Structure 1
Amino acid sequence: MSEPAAEPTAELDVLFRARRMAGPDGEGPGSVGVRDGKIVAQGPLDAGFRAARVVELAADEVLLPGLVDTHVHINDPGRAEWEGFATATRAAAAGGITTLLDMPLNSFPPTTDVDALKVKRKAARDRVHVDVGFWGGAVDDNLTELRGLHDAGVFGFKCFLLPSGVDEFPPLNPGELEDALREVAEHDALMIVHAEDSDAIEHASAAHGETYADFLASRPRGAENTAIAQVIELARRTGARVHILHLSSSDALPMIASARADGVRVTVETCPHYLVFTAEEIPDGATQFKCCPPIREARNRELLWEGLADGIIDCVVSDHSPCTPDLERFGIGDFGVAWGGVSGPQVGLSAVWTQARLRGHTLSDVVRWMSRNPAGQAGMRHKGAIAPGHDADFCVFAPDDAFVVDADGLHHRKPVSPYHGRTLAGTVRGTWLRGVQIAGAGTESPAPRGELLKRGEV
């Protein structure tokens, strides 16, 4: 836990008292004082701070820092019928997420130049329930746009090494990736990479039909492993910072660890669906489980958990990538033609906690994976921790509650989720953004009050 701050000389706006408060380094009782949306005081449970309002957590509740989800596809504007800023951020708030970063594709125009970023920010303004920042895109013809996007406040750049699924966001070939890495290295920006090798997937069997095993064979581990090896080598050569998105192949963990030992600046994330589901349990035709890279076998899942425990995997983020139900192809259940993307920010914390507790992990571990590390990886200095000077973003979590997921009760735009009907442990009872409750019973501000973030200002 953080060291106690000095007692404030003026009355606080809100004082939180919690018998259990979880930070990345431990858990214990404490008080947290908020003024003007910032944490300004911290001390023992019985600290004599004066406040206009006191929030006492129940005995079965834990105060967590608000989660930070750095991988969300909101698709707005252009494909807002898939998802939109209002619905995506309402779902995030209900799941304890207080800050998210929006991906640069599936919206139209994609965020590949400054003008497109302005369009994106205009679409989001006054509609977001949590704080929202933006990634820029690195595509085959926008090398000269990257510096302008960086200066305009994007948190880094996303690229694909194979077709992205939308024509307006083309991939980078190896030479283009090296050029882009040299460009971003000049201003120490971050390149985040969808790492699957196009050639390996071209030579794999084509995705087709209702059987999940056939789809899995179309996205082999080798495609991920080859692409990650290439990204590591180019990061070594250029000195750029790189981040591997949505890792599903546990085979890549040793090479990532080895690269870090050599000084290569590489971080990596995985997603709740890779830590919860297994290929063996996915029914025929259940295309709501389709994502790329795919959910793999049970043994692979356990090795991903070991990667988290060992600190090789840094972050757990949602990769929320919804679409309209017709694109899921439920009528035919064909994995070859269905859109690939899992919807899940509202249940991500509970899903991860359900599995983490079975393996002896603590809420402090979960906070590290889902709050502190994503904030740090994106360069957010005032998010991801309960500490003086940080934004007063909190999640009130009841870890021993259980519930059954009902997709119709989720706030994202279309009621589709692979978690539907699954029993999960832990419920979010309240979410607070800069000291104001935005979700849960007693919500003070149901209207959008999130801010649009720029790199370097948060």
Structure 2
Amino acid sequence: MLDLVFRARRMITPAGEVEGTVGVREGRIVAVEPLNSDLDAERVIELGLHQVLLPGLVDTHVHVNDPGRTEWETFRTATRAAAAGGVTTLVDMPLNSLPPTVDADALEVKRKAAEGRLHVDVGFWGGAVPGNLADLRDLHEAGVFGFKSFLLHSGVDEFGHLSFSEFEAALREIRKFDGLMIVHAEDGHAVKNARGRKYADFLASRPRAAENAAITRVIDLAKRTGARAHILHLSSADAIPMIAQAKADGVRITAETCPHYLTFVAEEIPDGATQFKCCPPIREATNREALWRALADGVIDYVVSDHSPSTRELKRFDTGDFGEAWGGISGLQVGLPAVWTQARRRGHTVVDVVNWMAHRPAQVAGMRHKGRIEPGYDADFCVFAPDEAFVVQADQLHHRNPVSAYHGVPLAGRVITTWLRGIRVTGDELHGDLLGREDA
């Protein structure tokens, strides 16, 4: 007898959209069979015609900020928001918490802060910062999924940024154990600090050239060292041809973008609307369409939230000054409907969205049991109604502070239920586990 069976006329597997039956035992998928299969279980869930069974989404770019800045976000609130958005696995960034995750002792502090407070499964990135080259192997062996680095000021003083020579040294070190370097690629020499309420001034202060120059160097150093490098939150479409060429040349490079770059456009952001501030910035409509084409072509590998929350006060709604406001979009809970809303307008399918938001991020991070409806994988599911619509209300989202660029935005697609290792996530109980690289 199985623990749980789903019967779905629409579900997304590695073979595409199919109808079928999924059997679960002890938190793992043990069978994927035709719809008329005689699989039985203690609990059988029959999905309606307008519901699609997806694998739980994998978001590898989340700033939880816990411990140390829990007034910004906590593990309990972030993972509740994740579950409400169909995300069953997230990987937490090493900065904005105190201490930052730049050595094995800090990783242990982070794990203790998270333990017993999780609605979904959580893994961790380590940090590559000036002076911690000798700590990278220890962090790797302690189970981090890779290493986050900045090529300009990170926004917080305790997480320093690498010079290009330090970045190359870190790449050479992690190449020894085939680690993964994930990089915020903007060249600080091309960035200015624009004060004031005008979004156009803020956008001009972080031009495409800043991303392009940094990505050029990252590609060159990845090629020179043979290390794996991943471009975070790509916003400049100008960099797409060079990433495509690097991949064609065999450079071990991947790239992500985010729902806000695929949804919003600079021309429509009001002056003073600091809820839209993020770095790199949301760019023009033509740039957005080029990002969509690169995603469709596979040059951009996947889509993750870059959920970077803060308090209302730090967004400086009192002045609307983009220079003073914290840069970050709070979008963890609404990433799936945001991407689906835009994707279907461009002729993409739910299969495409699952590839971008579950299959590929899990694959790049090296997760062997996440992001697929397939025997042997964790029984993580999202029941999704793609034709239902709603309007986002920031005060109804589960992350800690009611601030979101998506407030008031109508979206298509609603998450009906989320399941973690065969258990429905309701918000009443905490079933999330800590993940390490080897047991992901």
TM-score, normalised relative to structure 2: 0.99
Query: What secondary structure sits across from 1:456 in the alignment?
Result: helix
Superimposed CA distance per residue, residues 143-167 of structure 1 (whole angstroms, 9 cap, x where no aligned partner): 0000000000000000000000100
CA–CA distance in 1 between the matches of 2:362 and 2:419? 17
Asked if residue 95 in structure 1 is aligned to residue 90 in structure 2, the reply is no
Mapping of 1:62-101 within 5 angstroms? 62-101=52-91
Aligned equivalents of 1:325, 1:13: Cα separation in 2: 44
- What is the CA distance between 1:71 and its match in structure 2? 0.1
Specify the SS of the correspondent of 1:327.
Answer: helix
1:274-285 alignment runs, 5 A limit:
274-285=261-272
Given the alignment of the two structures, is residue 235 of structure 1 paired with residue 222 of structure 2, yes or no? yes
Residue of structure 2 in register with 1:212 after alignment:
199
User: 1:79, 1:448 → 2: CA distance?
Assistant: 22
The answer to whether the 8 Å contact 1:23/1:368 transfers is no
Q: Report whether the alignment pairs 1:18 with 2:8.
A: yes
Q: Partner of 1:436 in structure 2?
A: 423
| 1:453 matched residue in structure 2 | 435
> 2:142 — aligned with what?
152
Superposed CA deviations along residues 78-116 of structure 1, whole A, max 9, x for unmatched, are 001000000000000000000000000000000000000
Counterpart of 1:383?
Answer: 370
Counterpart of 2:61, as a letter, is H
SS across alignment from 2:438: coil
From 244, 248, 266, the equivalent of 1:257 is 244
Q: What SS class does the counterpart of residue 232 from structure 1 fall into?
A: helix
Q: 1:258 Cα shift?
A: 0.4
Match of 1:33 among 11, 23, 34: 23
Partner of residue 47 from structure 1, selected from 19, 25, 37: 37
Distance 1:149 1:266 in 2: 22
Aligned: 1:221 with 2:208: yes
Q: 1:26, CA displacement in angstroms?
A: 1.4
Native 8 Å contact 2:103 2:135 kept in 1:
yes
Contact 2:13–2:374 (Cα < 8 Å) also in 1: no
How many correspondences in the alignment?
440
Q: Report how far residue 208 of structure 1 moved.
A: 1.2
RMSD over aligned Cα atoms: 0.7
Structure 1 residue 25, shift from structure 2 partner: 4.1
- Does 2:314 align with 1:332? no
Give the corresponding residue for 2:397.
410
Aligned residues of 2:194 and 2:205 also touching (Cα < 8 A)? yes
| Structure 2 unaligned spans of 5+ | none
> Does structure 1 residue 61 correspond to structure 2 residue 51?
yes
Give a deviation string over 1:13-69, Cα, whole Å, max 9, x none: 000000100235410210000000000011111100121110001111000000000
SS of 2:166's equivalent in the other structure is helix
Moved over 3 A (4+): none
SS of 1:17's partner is strand
Aligned mates of 2:170, 2:328 — CA distance in 1? 27
Distance 2:26 2:177 in 1: 33
Task: Give the 3-state SS of the residue equivalent to 2:299 in structure 1.
Answer: coil
Amino acid of the structure 2 residue aligned with 1:454: G
Judge conservation of contact 1:23–1:367 (CA < 8 Å) in 2.
no
Are 1:342 and 2:299 an aligned pair? Answer: no
Distance 2:190 2:224 in 1: 23
State the Cα deviation string for residues 273-304 of structure 1 (Å, max 9, x = none).
00000000001100000000000000000000
8 Å contact kept, 1:24–1:367:
no
- For the residue of structure 2 that corresponds to 1:447, the secondary structure is coil
Inter-CA distance 296–24: structure 2 relative to 1 (3 Å threshold) = farther
Inter-partner Cα distance in structure 2 for 1:195 and 1:71: 15
Distance 1:36 1:178 in 2: 44
Structure 1: where are the runs of 5+ without partners? 1-10, 440-444
Tell me, in whole angstroms, the C-alpha distance in 2 between the residues paired with 1:23 and 1:229. 36
Structure 2 counterpart of 1:174 = 164
Instruction: Show the counterpart of 2:360.
Output: 373
Is residue 2:100 matched to residue 1:110? yes
CA separation in 2, counterparts of 1:164 and 1:25? 40
The answer to which of 369-378 and 49-58 deviates more is 49-58
Identical amino acids, percent of aligned pairs = 70
Structure 2 residue identity aligned to 1:172: L
Could you tell me how far 1:447 is from its partner in structure 2? 1.1
| Matching residue of 1:7 | none
The structure-2 alpha-carbon separation of the partners of 1:255 and 1:25, relative to structure 1 and needing over 3 Å to count, comes to farther
Q: In structure 1, how many angstroms separate the alpha carbons of the residues matched to 2:394 and 2:94?
A: 26
Q: Tell me which of 287, 303, 307 is aligned to 1:316.
A: 303
- Listed one character per residue, the Cα deviations across residues 402-434 of structure 1 (whole Å, up to 9, x for unaligned) are 000000000000000010001000000000000
Distance of 1:150 and 1:187 partners within structure 2: 8
User: How far 1:446 sits from its partner (Å)?
Assistant: 2.1
Quote how far apart the aligned CAs of 1:456 are: 1.4
Q: 2:383 aligns with which of 396, 403, 409?
A: 396
Which residue type is aligned with residue 407 of structure 1?
A
Q: Which residue of 1 aligns with 2:346?
A: 359
The 2-side partners of 1:24 and 1:198 are apart by: 41
Residue 446 of structure 1 aligns to which amino acid in structure 2?
D
Give the Cα separation in 2 of the matches to 1:127 and 1:24: 32
> In structure 1, what is the equivalent of residue 122 of structure 2?
132
Q: For 1:184-195, what aligned pairs fall within 5 Å after superposition?
A: 184-195=174-185
* Structure 2 residue identity aligned to 1:270: T
What SS does the aligned partner of 2:433 have?
coil
The amino acid of 1:114's aligned partner reads A
